[in-house]
Amino acid sequence: MTLEEVNNFEKLQSQLQGLHNEISALSKKSHNDALNKFKLKFINQILSECNELLGNDYKPFDDFDLFDENDMPSNSDAAMMLTQYLNCFEKLRGDNIRQQSKYPAHWCWMIDGSFSDIRTIPPKTIKDK
């Protein structure tokens, strides 16, 4: 990944998490209620940017890009898709971070194939790299 992609990733991940928190709370109260156009506009805006960053290799579903404004999704549908995007973001992050071998061993982003100074938390699932 490039520095610009990492910066964009971190911004989008936090926006996705915020949307997920909000929509999940709505879904618990009334899971079958439809989203309103205001919320859907911002969800689709973020999903569009996520699709660009994730590309075909990390995008959750080949046949899903955005929600259709003419067929308003329910709160639970939106929460489910946001969860899928968050999981794919974690996969992309996990594939592009490494633990430094020097003490103290921090997890850092790999920028253009080299360790960067941008620290991150360990991946949710640690695998041999």
Are 70 and 58 contacting, i.e. CB atoms less than 8 angstroms apart? no
pLDDT value, residue 127:
60
Other beta carbons within 10 Å of 69: 12
As given in the structure block, the two tokens for residue 18 are: 């915020």
Indicate if the pLDDT at residue 8 is higher than 90: yes
Residue 124: predicted pLDDT: 86
Q: Output the CA angle 2-4-59, nearest 5 degrees.
A: 75
* pLDDT for 31: 77
20 three-state secondary structure? helix
pTM: 0.91
Q: Is residue 129 over pLDDT 70?
A: no
Q: How many CB atoms lie within 10 A of CB 92?
A: 20
pLDDT category, 108, cuts 50, 70, 90?
A: very high
Q: What are 114-127's pLDDT values in tens digits? A: 999 999 999 987 66
